[in-house]
C-alpha cells in the first residue's frame, strides 16, 4: 500500500503534560483522512509536529516512505506538505497574491513581479475553482475567502499532502460543501488530505479513513464504511450524544430586547447594519442565521456597546442601551459570548481565575471594598471548570495553554454565570467538540428555561435548528426574513442567506 505519511510513536510533552502519547498514524496516498477527538485531545499538536512547528520528544516521521526530521516548516514544505492552520496566518496589509506567493515570490530582475504573481494567482484560483480576487488586500476579507487564500497558498507550493485544521469551523454550510468538493477533486488528482473536524456529518460525508484521538492517544483508525456516527461519538466521548431538536416549554413572552431601525458601520467604515429590527422575549431563543461577515458580529458588538451605532434604537427592558458603555450595558443585564474568543473573550497571558474574574471583579464574594479575594475566585473558577467540563490542570493555568475548545468553554462559563437576563451568544460552539457541544446546548436550554432572553448568532444551521424558537436570516446587514425554528426549511434559509427573498423568488417562478 502506498503510504504518504507515517508517524510512529510520536510523543509530545508540554512540561509535565503529555499532549501526544506514542501516537502511530499512517495516511494512505490519495485518501481523505479525518482526525477527530475532543477538545484538547492533541490533534493540533500532532499536526504541528508533523509540519515542523513543534519538535516531538519521541517518535519518528516519514513522508512518502522517506524518514524525515522535520526541523522547520521549510523542511515540510519541501517534502510536499502544506498546512492550513486552525488560526489563519495571513498578512493583512498584503494583497491576496502577495500572501499566496510569500516565501516563493516570482521575481524579475531581482524585483518582485506583482503582475506575474497576480496573473498566476488568478490562474491557480481558476484551476482549483477557488474564487478570489488576487489584487485585493487581505485586511477586511471574510474568513471564507481567507480560507481559500490559505488553501491556495498551500497549492501554490505544489503540496501533495494537505493538512487542514478545523477548516469548516468558520464556514457556512454552503462554503463547507464547496470546500469538500474541492478537497474531493484534490484526491482525485492523487493528492492526500488530512483534516481535523468536530462535525461528524462532515467527517462521515467526505473522509475515507477516520482516526480518533482521545487524551493524546489513538483510540482507533478505521475506514469510514466500518463506522457509524454513533460509534464515532462513543469512541470520542465515551457516551451517546444527541443532536435532536431540544424539547421546550413556552417562555413568559415578556419583551426584553427590542431593536428598531438600527444602522452601524464596520471597521472599514462601510455600512454593516442596515435598518435592523428585531425583538427578543424572555424565555425565547432567537437565532440569527447568515453567512459569516453579513453584519452578525457588528450587531453583537453594537448591542454590547463595543461599537457605536450610527442610527436607530435598541431598548433593553424598555431603556435605551445605545450610547452606553459596555460596563453599563452589562450592569443592566447583558451577558455576551463574543465571536472572536481569542481577541475579545480571554486574555491568553492571564490565568483562568483572572479570566473568570472579568466583569465581576467588583462583586461579592470575589471582592470586598475594592480588594480581590483571590482564594474565592480560585474556588469559583474550580467549580466552573467542573460544571462546564473545562480541561485544565487548575485555576492558575494560563488561558493560552488550553486547547481552542476549552478556551471557548471558559468564556461560556463566565458569561452564563454572570447573572444577566439577556444573553448575546455569538458562535458558541465554533471549534468545540461534539461532547462539549451537547453540553453547551444543554446549558443554553437551561438558560432559556430560566426565562432568559437569548439572541443566538450561529453560522451552523443544525445548531439553530436544535435550539432556536425563531430564526432571522441576515444578508449584507439586513434581516431578510424570519422562519419558525421548529419548521426550519434549509432551502428557503439557504436562499435568504444568499440574499434572495424566498417570497419574491416564489413569485418569479
Partner 1 sequence: MEILATFFNVGLVVATIRTTTPILLVALGGSFTTKAGIFNIGLEGQMLIAAFFAVIGSIWTGSSFGGLLIGVAAALAFALVYAVLVVSFRANEVVVGLALNILAGGMTISLMKAIFGTRGSVVGRGIVGLPKVQLPGARDILGPSYAQLISGYTPLVYVAFLSVPLLVLFYARTRLGLYLRVVGEKPEAAETLGISIARVRYIASLLCGLFAGLAGAHMSLGYITMFTENMSSGRGFMAVAILIFSAGDPLKVLLGCLLFGFADAFSLRLQILNFPSYLILAVPYAVALLALFALSWRTRPKLIRETLETMRNALAEKPQDSGGKLPADNRP
Partner 2 sequence: MISSLLPRNLRRTLAGQLLALAIALALGAVVILMIDENPLRVFATLMRGAFGDSEKIAGTLLQTTPILICGVAACIGLRGGMFNVGIEGQLFLGGFAAAWVGFSFALPPVLHVLVAVAAAVAAGAAWVSVPAYFRVRFGANEVVSTILANYVAVLLTSYFTIFLFKRPGGWSETPPILPSAYLPELFSFSRLNIGLLIGLALAVATALFFRFTTTGYAVTMVGSAPKFADYGGINVRRAGFGVLLASGAVGGLAGGVETLGVHHRFMEGFAPGFGFDGLIAALLANGSPIGTIFTALFFGALRAGSLLLEVDTTASREIITVIQALIILAVSADLLLRRKGDRTGGRRWKF
Q: Closest distance between partner 1 and the C-beta of residue 16, in Å?
A: 24
Per CB under 8 A, the segment of 87-95, 331-339, 381-389, 456-464 that binds partner 1 is: 87-95
By CB under 5 A, tell whether 167 contacts Mg ion: no
- 365 cis-preceded (ω within 30 degrees of 0): yes
> Quick one: 210 or 453, whose CB is closer to Mg ion?
210
Q: Which residues within the stretch 396-435 sit at the binding site for ligand ATP (CB under 6 A)?
A: 401-405, 433
Q: Are strands 284-289 and 470-475 parallel, antiparallel or unpaired?
A: parallel
3-class SS letters over 421-474: CEEEEECCCCCCCHHHHHHHHHHHHHHHHCCCEEEEECCCHHHHHHHCCEEEEE
> Quick one: 216 or 338, whose CB is closer to ligand ATP?
216
Torsion angle of C-alpha atoms 128, 129, 130, 133, degrees rounded to 10 = 110
Q: Closest distance between ligand ATP and the C-beta of residue 227, in Å?
A: 19
Using CB under 6 A as the criterion, what x/- string covers residues 1-40 for binding ligand ATP? Answer: -------------x--x-x-----------------x-xx
Cα angle 18-21-22, degrees, rounded to a multiple of 5: 150
> Quick one: 428 or 502, whose CB is closer to Mg ion?
428
Q: Closest distance between partner 1 and the C-beta of residue 271, in Å?
A: 6
DSSP type of residue 499: T
Tell me which residues touch partner 2 (CB under 8 A). Answer: 53-55, 304, 306, 325-327, 329-331, 336, 338, 343-351, 354, 357-359, 361-362, 367, 370-372, 374, 396, 398
Q: What share of the chain is helix, strand, coil (3-state, %, to 5)?
A: 35, 30, 35
Compute the distance between CA of residue 282 and CA of residue 421 in angstroms, rounded to an integer. 8
By CB under 5 A, tell whether 404 contacts Mg ion: yes
By CB under 6 A, tell whether 42 contacts ligand ATP: yes
Using CB under 6 A as the criterion, what x/- string covers residues 375-394 for binding ligand ATP? Answer: ----------------x---
Q: What are the backbone dihedrals phi and psi of residue 214, each rounded to the nearest 5 degrees, phi first?
A: -150, 130
Q: Which three cell numbers stand for residue 406?
A: 476549552
Q: Which three cell numbers stand for residue 365?
A: 464574594
Distance of CA 208 to the CA centre of its chain: 24
Q: Closest distance between ligand ATP and the C-beta of residue 20, in Å?
A: 8
Q: Which residues within the stretch 141-170 sit at the binding site for ligand ATP (CB under 6 A)?
A: none
Residue 405 near which of partner 1, ligand ATP, partner 2, none (CB within 5-8 Å, type-dependent): ligand ATP
Q: Closest distance between partner 2 and the C-beta of residue 157, in Å?
A: 20
Q: Are strands 111-112 and 107-108 parallel, antiparallel or unpaired?
A: antiparallel
Q: Which three cell numbers stand for residue 239?
A: 457516551
Q: Closest distance between ligand ATP and the C-beta of residue 313, in Å?
A: 39
Q: Which of 184, 189, 130, 193 has its CA nearest to residue 162? A: 193
Using CB under 6 A as the criterion, what x/- string covers residues 81-120 for binding ligand ATP? Answer: -----------------------------x----------
Compute the distance between CA of residue 262 and CA of residue 273 in angstroms, rounded to an integer. 7
Which of 110, 247, 250, 318 lies at the binding interface for partner 1 (CB under 8 A)?
A: 110
Q: Closest distance between partner 1 and the C-beta of residue 114, in Å?
A: 8
- Asked whether the beta carbons of 60 and 22 are under 8 A apart, the reply is no
By CB under 5 A, tell whether 431 contacts Mg ion: yes
**What b/e readout covers 290-324, taking b as 16+ CB neighbours within 10 angstroms?**
bbbbbbbbbbbbbbbbbbebeebebbbbeeebbeb
Which of 13, 22, 28, 114 lies at the binding interface for partner 1 (CB under 8 A)?
A: 114
> Quick one: 86 or 459, whose CB is closer to partner 1?
86
Q: Closest distance between partner 1 and the C-beta of residue 437, in Å?
A: 28
DSSP type of residue 351: B
Number of alpha helices (DSSP H) and beta strands (DSSP E) in the chain = 17, 24
> Quick one: 227 or 407, whose CB is closer to partner 2?
407
Using CB under 6 A as the criterion, what x/- string covers residues 431-460 for binding ligand ATP? Answer: --x---------------------------
By CB under 8 A, tell whether 73 contacts partner 1: yes
- Alpha helices (H) in 225-277, listed in sequence order: 229-237
Radius of gyration of the chain (CA): 24
Q: Closest distance between partner 2 and the C-beta of residue 34, in Å?
A: 27
By CB under 6 A, tell whether 44 contacts ligand ATP: yes
Compute the distance between CA of residue 326 and CA of residue 306 in angstroms, rounded to an integer. 6
Residue 358 near which of ligand ATP, Mg ion, partner 2, none (CB within 5-8 Å, type-dependent): partner 2
The residues, ordered by sequence, that sit 6+ positions from 327 with a Cβ below 8 Å of its Cβ are: none
Compute the distance between CA of residue 347 and CA of residue 399 in angstroms, rounded to an integer. 7
- 97 cis-preceded (ω within 30 degrees of 0): no
Q: Closest distance between ligand ATP and the C-beta of residue 19, in Å?
A: 3
Task: Point out which residues bind partner 1 (CB under 8 A).
Answer: 51, 53, 72-75, 77, 83, 85, 89-94, 98-99, 102-103, 105, 107, 110-112, 114, 153, 260-261, 263, 265, 269, 271, 274-275, 277, 308, 310-311, 501
Binding-site ranges for ligand ATP (CB under 6 A): 14, 17, 19, 37, 39-45, 110, 391, 401-405, 433
Amino acid at each position: 500500500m502506498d503510504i504518504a505519511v507515517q508517524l510512529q510513536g510520536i510523543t509530545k510533552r508540554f512540561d509535565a503534560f503529555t499532549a501526544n502519547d506514542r501516537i502511530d498514524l499512517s495516511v494512505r496516498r490519495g485518501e481523505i483522512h479525518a482526525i477527530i477527538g475532543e477538545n484538547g485531545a492533541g490533534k493540533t499538536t500532532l499536526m504541528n509536529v508533523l509540519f515542523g512547528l513543534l519538535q516531538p520528544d519521541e517518535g519518528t516521521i516519514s513522508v512518502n516512505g522517506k524518514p524525515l526530521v522535520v526541523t522547520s516548516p521549510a523542511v515540510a514544505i519541501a517534502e510536499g506538505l502544506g498546512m492550513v492552520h486552525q488560526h489563519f496566518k495571513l498578512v493583512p496589509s498584503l494583497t491576496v497574491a502577495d500572501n499566496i506567493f510569500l516565501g516563493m515570490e516570482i521575481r524579475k530582475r531581482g524585483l518582485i513581479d506583482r503582475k506575474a504573481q497576480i496573473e498566476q494567482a488568478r490562474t491557480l484560483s481558476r484551476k482549483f475553482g477557488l474564487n478570489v480576487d488576487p489584487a485585493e488586500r487581505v485586511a477586511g476579507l471574510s474568513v471564507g475567502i481567507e480560507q481559500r487564500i490559505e488553501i491556495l497558498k498551500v497549492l501554490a507550493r505544489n503540496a501533495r499532502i494537505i493538512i487542514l485544521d478545523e477548516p469548516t469551523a468558520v464556514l457556512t454550510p454552503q462554503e463547507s460543501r464547496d470546500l469538500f468538493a474541492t478537497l474531493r477533486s484534490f484526491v482525485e488528482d492523487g493528492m492526500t488530505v488530512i483534516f481535523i473536524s468536530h462535525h461528524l456529518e462532515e467527517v462521515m460525508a467526505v473522509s475515507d479513513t477516520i482516526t480518533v484521538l482521545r487524551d493524546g492517544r489513538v483510540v482507533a483508525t478505521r475506514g469510514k464504511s466500518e463506522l457509524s456516527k454513533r460509534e464515532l461519538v462513543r469512541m470520542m466521548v465515551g457516551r451517546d450524544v444527541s443532536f435532536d431538536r431540544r424539547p421546550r416549554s413556552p417562555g413568559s413572552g415578556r419583551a426584553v430586547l427590542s431593536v428598531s431601525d438600527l444602522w452601524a458601520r464596520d471597521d472599514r467604515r462601510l455600512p454593516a447594519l442596515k435598518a435592523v429590527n428585531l425583538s427578543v422575549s424572555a424565555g425565547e431563543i432567537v437565532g440569527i442565521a447568515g453567512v459569516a461577515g453579513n453584519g452578525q458580529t457588528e450587531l453583537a458588538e453594537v448591542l454590547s456597546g463595543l461599537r457605536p451605532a450610527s442610527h436607530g434604537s435598541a431598548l433593553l427592558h424598555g431603556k435605551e442601551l445605545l450610547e452606553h458603555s459596555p460596563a453599563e450595558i452589562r450592569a443592566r443585564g447583558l451577558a455576551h459570548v463574543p465571536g472572536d474568543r481569542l481577541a475579545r473573550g480571554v486574555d491568553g497571558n492571564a490565568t483562568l481565575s483572572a479570566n473568570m474574574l472579568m466583569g465581576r471583579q467588583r462583586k461579592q464574594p470575589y471582592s470586598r471594598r475594592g480588594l480581590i479575594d483571590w482564594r474565592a475566585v480560585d474556588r469559583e473558577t474550580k467549580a466552573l471548570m467542573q460544571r462546564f467540563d473545562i480541561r485544565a490542570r487548575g485555576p492558575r493555568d494560563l488561558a493560552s495553554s488550553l486547547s481552542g475548545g476549552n478556551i471557548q468553554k471558559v468564556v461560556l462559563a463566565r458569561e452564563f454565570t454572570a447573572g444577566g437576563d439577556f444573553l448575546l451568544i455569538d458562535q458558541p460552539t465554533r471549534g468545540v467538540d461534539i461532547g462539549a457541544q451537547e453540553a453547551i446546548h444543554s446549558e443554553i436550554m437551561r438558560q432559556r428555561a430560566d426565562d432568559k432572553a437569548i439572541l443566538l448568532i450561529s453560522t451552523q444551521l443544525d445548531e439553530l435548528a436544535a435550539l432556536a424558537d425563531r430564526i432571522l436570516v441576515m444578508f449584507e446587514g439586513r434581516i431578510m426574513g424570519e422562519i419558525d425554528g421548529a419548521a426550519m426549511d434549509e432551502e428557503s434559509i439557504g436562499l435568504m442567506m444568499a440574499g434572495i427573498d424566498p417570497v419574491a423568488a416564489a413569485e418569479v417562478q
